[in-house]
A and B are shown apart, each in its own frame.
Chain A
Amino acid sequence: MSLWPAETQEMAKKLIGRYPDPKSAVMPLLYLAMRQDGYLTEAGMREVASWTGHTPAQVQSVATFYGMFKTERLGDYLVSVCTSISCMLLGGDEVLDAVEDETGVPHGETDAEGLFSVEHVECLGACGGAPAMQVNYELVEGSTPDQARSLCRWLREERPEAVNTDAMQEQFGGRRSFDWAITEDNSAVGPYPAFGPYGTLRRGDT
């Protein structure tokens, strides 16, 4: 018996329907569980287990392998700064310092207020726009340390309900890897990716 609300259950069914075997849907459903609870709770993993036919131990094994499945409560904004080699060479470490200083949150931690979580991450696949960072997995490229500070201040002062890569890039970013790529219209409303069926806001939805 699912503890999820009807709307989430509908999404779960839709996601499972995309795969020949419900077990294959474990990772999308983990994001769904994060969307439901804000992060991946034990109850969320049990729920995913019952939808997919895995045992909770197997779900936990998948969930703890990937860095993007968060098993601890995060702030409203998860700021991830890339410190892999391309970004490091172009000032990623300085961006990270600026973010830590501006938010007062050391990497790997969340502030007491529950506003910011900061982490440094490995390659975000945006070397062309290094240094790269993300807010709730929405990419911002080519930011200077000062721009990163402004971004954090903006988040703190405006508390946007959703963040969107293009909007942030315009305001706080620099050079992009690809300016010809398809723009992703979805905006993120929490620390899970804003693609597909997670019901994230689209610009103009609100």
Chain B
Amino acid sequence: MADLVKITVDGRQIEVPHGELVIRAAQDHGVYIPRFCWHPRMREVGMCRMCLVEIETPRGTILTTACTTTAAEGMVVHTASDTAKKAQEGILEFLLINHPLDCPVCDKGGECPLQDQTMAFGPGESRFVEEKRHYEKPIPISDLVFLDRERCILCARCTRFADEIAGDPLIEFKDRGNHTSVETFPDLPFSSYFSGNTVQICPVGALTASAYRFKARPWDLLVVESSCSHCTVGCRISVESSQNHVLRFNGVDNGATNQGWLSDKCRFGFEFIGSEQRLRTPLVKVEGEFREASWAEALDVVADRLGAIIEEQGGDAVGGIGGARSTNEDAYAFGKFMRTVVGSNHLDARLDDGLDARFLAAVSPRAKIADLDRAATILVWAPDLKEESGSLYLRVRHAVQERGAKLVVVHPRRTGLDDRATHKLTYRPGEGPALLGELAGGAGDYAKVLETLSLGPVVAVVGRTGLTEQPQLAEEVAAFALSLPDAKVLPFARRSNVFGALDMGVAPTLLPGRAAAGDSEATGHLEAVWGPIPTQAGRDTMGILQGLVDGDLKALVLLGADPVRDVPAAGIARRGMESAEFVVAIDLFLTDSSELADVVFPAEAFGEKEGTITNLEGRVQKVNRVVTGPGQSQADWTILDDISRRLGKPLGFASAEAISKEIADVAPPYGGISWELLEWDAKEGAVVPYGEAGQPVAYRPDGVDREALAAMSRNPESGAFALHLARTLYDDGVLMRNSLSLHALAPGGAVHLHPADAARLGVSEGSLVEVETVDASVRLPAVIDPSLATGVVYVPFNQPGIPSLGSDLSVVVAAGEEVSA
């Protein structure tokens, strides 16, 4: 805690931290000083001059900017003296010389800082009668953002954001002087993954979002606060709707998670909610064709067929996949449904993360996101955070760029953080264990890296860099990281509520509350509420799908999961589902997977239901309802409850909130967490284990095991390349597919090759290349990518129209034959 100093603001003495900016100190004590350029999450620049205040100094009072002046003992500030008011009026009068005042047709009208502050601090009338400047009306500066230069007041919030926060300085002032305007470079759009933030922080209507332009007036919007469901950070957002349509998301400044920022995927990835493609009624497959059915009819079919399979072959013949896209309450209902109603331990929320459930749920000591702000060194041995978790990426970038933390990035190709990395280690997929061994040994070039890493506190973001990587490697990396001084691990997986679903026991090895399946005390505690649960060993997602292929399993329950699209081994997923005698899917859309189901129930989506989610650091936050689901859609838990009644073993849930109370009872780490707490007291969320609760499963990998590492190393078959298969921010996932603004931004299929390999194969940029794995054979355009090691190809996963290459390491690559025109 910094020393406190006494300063006087408008005659009132306040105590504020020494060195605090006057504008922030005053605001924290209820005095709002007008501003345009100053933003609490960016460096102060003092360029709009709106925050002029009078400050008494030994040489008399001076007029100065409150956003660049720091509080010091005895300082006397006047924010509303005649001189200060005159200065503020003058600045506003100048700003309005050229501002078009087209507020009635401007998206920002009604929530516009320029409008509001003109009302509060402005002169009321202007002495300027001259012609205002004119520019071409809005020009697109990216696929998602329009710029109307006439409205711009040159506060530079957007350009500073692009440079300082996003690290993509693709917009800048041009023609500085009398004709200053914000511009991109010709033919080089502001294609930042974070461009939408500039719309939110623009203090006028100069930047507008293509998805929201002219859709609503701010005062007509119904707004609730919620947490984003696109990745595992759970950024705080406001969900804003009009006439029962979600129209936009805005970032909410939650210090613990996103600090107000959102990636464009999260900001604009709401369109799927209102998609025409949403399921509206239950569907039942009759002679290979779906036909709309009533709830009663669909439930009867499920009760008959699933009931028969359970009756004849036992619950063990049924698998359940899903829950990672649901709320904790829904996931809990799913786990309870599978274990008590069906009587099966074959359930899994993980689709492709591949990481051990106990590792994800319970690795300790676990870092919080905010620990990045205190870390001296950050190790990122994980997927490219820029592609998979925008706000985590921004947080790491900020720690390095603005605070000077050291950064070590380990990844098979370039990542968004490379430009800020102290050390970047590149390796061939399959050889990660060998690299880890050498790094831990610290010989040769690795000595310097190890030296950097020995500067604590260390935060290690650990995940699976790609879908062909050995899943156990992450645990060894975590073990290595935890051997570093004052180290904590932040385990990374991407699918939004996968951590919550695992905490709810949606994994074969876990029970609710991070307890190990098979642990007699935890089982006893659970059975007291649930009744008997099965004891046989459960299968994970791949095991379930393989079991269906082999005929060991007969039926499948899908909860918001699309394994055909999301599991890298798409072939097994499809064959498994086709082999199943009966598949019931609960989903928002007919996906490649639910297409193969026998009965599909329409589920409510994000924004249509209430509940809680748990992010990667274990933070529980509330998500809220602002619109109603389309047609007859229902919450996941309601559907599961309905099915359970028909199967004669009612779950007996009354409401999602009632489920949350049951969770608090059943899962000790969640004890004390309630909706009321999250809504009123713990606004930034509550981190599990909460309160006094301990962690039933403590997972601390012990030390790097060189032998295990050696055994883990793999190489592609001779003559083949090593495949690096990784996700991109925009892809062909079902939510993206139904968010039209974003789906078009998916980079598309491509095969990235090292220049030397390309030369050897006779391949140049853009030429077609034959790519073959055990799972698929496709022809993709080549991209020359010097960031790869030789002998490696990178293929972005899940791109529109491109079949999955599977998770096998070996890939055969050959120049495609020229197709003559």
Measured between beta carbons, the chain A residues less than 8 angstroms from B177 are 65
A54 to B168: give the CA distance in the assembly, Å.
10
Measured between beta carbons, the chain B residues less than 8 angstroms from A59 are 185
**26 A-B pairs (CB sep. < 8 Å):** A42-B185, A42-B186, A42-B187, A54-B169, A55-B168, A55-B169, A55-B170, A55-B172, A55-B185, A55-B188, A56-B185, A56-B188, A57-B169, A57-B170, A57-B171, A57-B172, A57-B183, A59-B185, A60-B172, A60-B185, A61-B172, A61-B174, A61-B176, A64-B175, A65-B176, A65-B177
Measured between beta carbons, the chain A residues less than 8 angstroms from B183 are 57, 60
B173 at the interface (CB under 8 A from A): yes
Contact with A along B178-198 (1 / 0, CB 8 A): 000001111110000000000
Contact B176 A58 (CB under 8 A): no
Contact with B along A33-56 (1 / 0, CB 8 A): 000000000100110000000111
A99 to B170: give the CA distance in the assembly, Å.
41
Q: Is the interface of A mostly helix, strand, loop or mixed?
A: helix
Once A55-B169, A57-B170 are accepted as A-B contacts, the answer to whether A45 and B185 lie under 8 Å apart by CB is: yes
From B172, B173, B175, B183, name the one whose CB has the most chain A CB atoms within 10 angstroms: B172
Measured between beta carbons, the chain B residues less than 8 angstroms from A42 are 185-187
Measured between beta carbons, the chain A residues less than 8 angstroms from B163 are 58
Nearest A residue to B419 via CB reads A53
Question: 8 Å CB contacts to A: which residues of B119-174?
Answer: 163, 168-174
Contact with B along A48-81 (1 / 0, CB 8 A): 0000001111111100110000000000000000
Contact A57 B184 (CB under 8 A): yes
Contact A64 B176 (CB under 8 A): yes
A64 to B178: give the CA distance in the assembly, Å.
12
A60 to B175: give the CA distance in the assembly, Å.
9
A69 to chain B, nearest CB (A): 11
Contact B170 A61 (CB under 8 A): no
Measured between beta carbons, the chain A residues less than 8 angstroms from B185 are 42, 45-46, 55-57, 59-60
A193 to B3: give the CA distance in the assembly, Å.
54
Measured between beta carbons, the chain A residues less than 8 angstroms from B186 are 42
Nearest B residue to A49 via CB reads B185
A64 to B177: give the CA distance in the assembly, Å.
9
A46 to chain B, nearest CB (A): 8
Measured between beta carbons, the chain A residues less than 8 angstroms from B172 are 55, 57-58, 60-61
Measured between beta carbons, the chain A residues less than 8 angstroms from B176 are 61, 64-65
Contact with A along B649-665 (1 / 0, CB 8 A): 00000000000000000
Nearest A residue to B176 via CB reads A65
Once A55-B185, A57-B184 are accepted as A-B contacts, the answer to whether A64 and B174 lie under 8 Å apart by CB is: yes
A60 to B185: give the CA distance in the assembly, Å.
7
A46 to B185: give the CA distance in the assembly, Å.
9
Measured between beta carbons, the chain B residues less than 8 angstroms from A56 are 185, 188
Per a CB cutoff under 8 Å, which of A57, A61, A64 touches B188? A57
Additional A-B contacts beyond A54-B169, A57-B171, A65-B175 (7; CB < 8 A): A45-B185, A55-B185, A57-B183, A57-B185, A57-B188, A58-B169, A61-B172
A61 to B156: give the CA distance in the assembly, Å.
13
Measured between beta carbons, the chain A residues less than 8 angstroms from B184 are 57
A60 to B159: give the CA distance in the assembly, Å.
13
Contact with B along A12-45 (1 / 0, CB 8 A): 0000000000000000000000000000001001
Nearest B residue to A67 via CB reads B177
Measured between beta carbons, the chain A residues less than 8 angstroms from B175 are 64-65
Measured between beta carbons, the chain B residues less than 8 angstroms from A57 are 169-172, 183-185, 188
**What 5 A-B pairs have minimum CB-CB distances, sorted nearest first?**
A61-B172, A56-B185, A57-B172, A57-B185, A65-B176
A174 to B86: give the CA distance in the assembly, Å.
51
Nearest A residue to B186 via CB reads A42
A9 to chain B, nearest CB (A): 19
A64 to B173: give the CA distance in the assembly, Å.
9
From A45, A54, A64, name the one whose CB has the most chain B CB atoms within 10 angstroms: A64
A61 to B169: give the CA distance in the assembly, Å.
11
A40 to chain B, nearest CB (A): 13
Question: 8 Å CB contacts to B: which residues of A156-196?
Answer: none
Nearest A residue to B179 via CB reads A64
Nearest A residue to B174 via CB reads A64
Per a CB cutoff under 8 Å, which of B168, B173, B187 touches A61? B173
A56 to chain B, nearest CB (A): 4
A64 to B186: give the CA distance in the assembly, Å.
13
Measured between beta carbons, the chain B residues less than 8 angstroms from A65 are 175-177
A55 to B166: give the CA distance in the assembly, Å.
13
B190 to chain A, nearest CB (A): 8
A55 to B174: give the CA distance in the assembly, Å.
13
A56 to B177: give the CA distance in the assembly, Å.
20
From A58, A59, A60, A61, name the one whose CB has the most chain B CB atoms within 10 angstroms: A61
From A54, A55, A57, A59, name the one whose CB has the most chain B CB atoms within 10 angstroms: A57
A130 to B698: give the CA distance in the assembly, Å.
83
A46 to B188: give the CA distance in the assembly, Å.
10
A46 to B168: give the CA distance in the assembly, Å.
15
B462 to chain A, nearest CB (A): 30
A54 to B170: give the CA distance in the assembly, Å.
10
A44 to chain B, nearest CB (A): 12
Contact A60 B169 (CB under 8 A): no
Nearest A residue to B175 via CB reads A64
A43 to B186: give the CA distance in the assembly, Å.
10
